[in-house]
Chains A and B, each alone.
Chain A
Amino acid sequence: MTAAIPRNGHDGGHEHGAPYQPVFVGARRQELDELFTKYPTKMACLLPALWIVQDERGWVSEEAMAEVADVLELTPAYVKGVVTFYTMYNQHPVGKYLIQVCTTSPCNVCGAENVVGAFLQQTGCGELGVTSADGKYTVIEVECLGACGFATPVMINEGFVESVTPEKVPQILAGLD
């Protein structure tokens, strides 16, 4: 059953009119059941359940929110309210590499704006939040990554690159392929 689910894909499994494939089946359902033992309410499993969805699909679609609502006995509207509050749940598909550049004050004084510029130009994204034509990159600015002494920190998917300067950007991008 799990074989039908695209793993680490970014297509959500239901694009182009294809029926929605549930996330919480097989091993993922077991993960959810294990979560239930860690919290006294089902609602408290919401953030971790959304992380499971994003890990599986790369983003959190409306259909996935409805599924989460169903397994946690919440309403889809409630789940959407929570998803939209937090910045890390992607509400639309992103590139294979989501590049998040910290631009808050401590990084700003160390030249973070130029790092953003270098990523936008060299990935071909051109604009913040826009995925490159080849589907590979999405570049966004992010507020304080909590690594201010290593300005400018950049998060690429789950990875963290410290002390990034515009000069290092080509090498970082080459390392992703």
Chain B
Amino acid sequence: MGYPNPVSPQETPVLSQYFGNQETISLDGWRKVGGYAALQKALGMTPAEIVDVVKASGLRGRGGAGFPTGVKWSFMKPGDGRPHYLCCNADESEPGTFKDREIMRWTPHALVEGCAIGSYAIGAETCYIYIRGEFTEPLLRVRQAIKEAYDAGILGANAMGTGKRIDIIVHKGAGAYICGEETALMNSIEGRRGNPRIKPPFPAVSGLFAQPTTINNVETLAAVPHIINRGADWYKSMCLSNPKSTGSKLFSVCGNIARPGNYEVVLGFSFKEFLYDLCGGPPKGRSFKAVIPGGISVPIQTMEEAEATKMDYEGFIEQGSMLGSGGVIVFDDQQSMVKQIARAARFFAHESCAQCTQCREGTAWTTRILERIRDGEGTAEDLDTLLLIADNMTGKTICVLSDSCATPVVSGIKKFRSEFEALIKKTTFHPVTAAVA
């Protein structure tokens, strides 16, 4: 539902149906609404059967990349004598995104159940849930849920009396956006600086502690119990546009909008209806100017693009952006896009792990140039310089943080160029010619 707003009839609350409900936080409450029936059912299936159901459902990673979950799970080869790990990425820190936080606050057992099923399906003896350090309340709730699940025999050496071992451990982050990148997350669990690793090797071959590892987002894992309970066909039937995008998805909405919050819709939903009907349109007396639809790392959309978008993995790409994490940031006519893009760049400069030169230098210089344009001190060359730097930052580094910083800059200059030009002084100061003169 549109937590904290009342549920709209246009929504399809699956993951969010208990948001705001105090009852379902506890194990007893979760069991009353059918909790852990899916785990019970899954433990009666073979791991390969579970992987097949998840594959058939069409579920794709909800963290940003959209990789098919069942396919990812099939890369794991249980029984090869090595330890296997499942990591749950709960380091939600993509600006604009706050859906995993609500899943963990209101339905921590949904995540525990998803992690347990995932662990069993990929043959992982241990699951680490990496929760960002700032999420103090979700940390408490998930830790409490895990404790309840151990005490009830759901987790541990004899999970649900089946003789199978499932261990889940919470790892608390310590403030680093980059640890949401899967290989940085693994380094962080290992007690290292959160620097991303070069791929290959991919995590399924050599991941956490150099062992086969799968990493899934909170929302992805929380969807799994529903798929096990109600079947792949039910999940696949939730589709409004492209058959490659199935199921319901949480979208977090923030910025200049009448009703910010989380909304759950079936993939393929009209973005126009979403913004104007579900979220109530722009604040009173304002109009929308631009949208970043999938967390701050994805390209900015103009309103024409946004209003023509079907909300699924393919639909956002068709309209010049990406679904990403589903974090919708809305800007109204009062906002300076130059100021906002400069602020986005500052975020990336702050969060760069600094191991790649293009990113360390690129994010810092991009920020400085954008801020001087914002302050009315830009030069005519600045836009070309920014685009040149952006080109150097794209596709040339270990991870995509660098690309993510370049994205709003390139799309911003392309789509809102006049705002930049209006701020740049008409006469350009050339230090070299000035010195000669």
Residues of A in contact with B (beta carbons under 8 Å apart): 38-41, 43-48, 50-51, 72, 74, 81-82, 85-89, 100, 103-106, 108-110, 142-151, 155, 158-160
Task: Determine whether the beta carbon of B176 is less than 8 Å from that of A85.
Answer: yes
Task: Determine whether the beta carbon of B335 is less than 8 Å from that of A109.
Answer: yes
Report if A88-B134 is in contact (Cβ < 8 Å); known contacts: A105-B296, A105-B329.
yes
A150 to chain B: which residues have CB within 8 Å?
98, 260
A87 to chain B: which residues have CB within 8 Å?
174-176
* CB of B130, distance to nearest CB on chain A (Å): 10
Task: Determine whether the beta carbon of A50 is less than 8 Å from that of B331.
Answer: no
Cα-based distance from A144 to B347 in the complex (angstroms): 8
25 A-B residue pairs with CB within 8 Å: A40-B83, A41-B191, A43-B190, A43-B191, A44-B190, A44-B209, A45-B191, A47-B172, A47-B173, A47-B174, A47-B189, A51-B133, A74-B191, A81-B193, A82-B193, A85-B176, A86-B176, A88-B134, A104-B343, A105-B95, A105-B292, A143-B93, A143-B177, A143-B350, A160-B136
The contact size tier of chain B is 35 or more
Task: Determine whether the beta carbon of A38 is less than 8 Å from that of B194.
Answer: no
A148: which of B96, B134, B136, B339 is its contact (CB, 8 Å)? B96
A158 to chain B: which residues have CB within 8 Å?
136
Interface residues of B in 177-191 (CB under 8 A from A): 177, 188-191
Report if A106-B193 is in contact (Cβ < 8 Å); known contacts: A86-B175, A148-B327.
no
Report if A104-B136 is in contact (Cβ < 8 Å); known contacts: A45-B191, A47-B188, A144-B177.
no
Residues of B in contact with A (beta carbons under 8 Å apart): 4, 83, 92-98, 100-101, 132-137, 169, 171-177, 188-194, 209, 252-256, 260-262, 292, 296, 327, 329, 331-332, 335, 339-340, 343-344, 347, 350-351, 353
Task: Determine whether the beta carbon of B343 is less than 8 Å from that of A149.
Answer: no
* CB of A37, distance to nearest CB on chain B (Å): 10
Cα-based distance from A39 to B128 in the complex (angstroms): 10
A104: which of B92, B95, B353 is its contact (CB, 8 Å)? B95
Cα-based distance from A143 to B100 in the complex (angstroms): 17
Task: Determine whether the beta carbon of A41 is less than 8 Å from that of B190.
Answer: yes
Cα-based distance from A151 to B252 in the complex (angstroms): 13
B350 to chain A: which residues have CB within 8 Å?
143
Report if A51-B174 is in contact (Cβ < 8 Å); known contacts: A38-B169, A82-B191, A144-B347.
yes
Report if A106-B255 is in contact (Cβ < 8 Å); known contacts: A82-B193, A147-B98.
yes
A105 to chain B: which residues have CB within 8 Å?
95-96, 255, 292, 296, 329, 340, 343-344, 347
B96: which of A47, A74, A103, A106 is its contact (CB, 8 Å)? A106
* CB of B11, distance to nearest CB on chain A (Å): 15
Task: Determine whether the beta carbon of B191 is less than 8 Å from that of A47.
Answer: yes
Cα-based distance from A81 to B192 in the complex (angstroms): 9
Cα-based distance from A46 to B253 in the complex (angstroms): 36
B132 to chain A: which residues have CB within 8 Å?
146
Task: Determine whether the beta carbon of B254 is less than 8 Å from that of A106.
Answer: yes
Task: Determine whether the beta carbon of A110 is less than 8 Å from that of B255.
Answer: yes
A41: which of B133, B209, B351 is its contact (CB, 8 Å)? B209
Q: Please, which residue of chain A has its CB at the minimum distance from the CB of B178?
A: A85
Task: Determine whether the beta carbon of B97 is less than 8 Å from that of A148.
Answer: yes
Q: Please, which residue of chain A has its CB at the minimum distance from the CB of B174?
A: A86
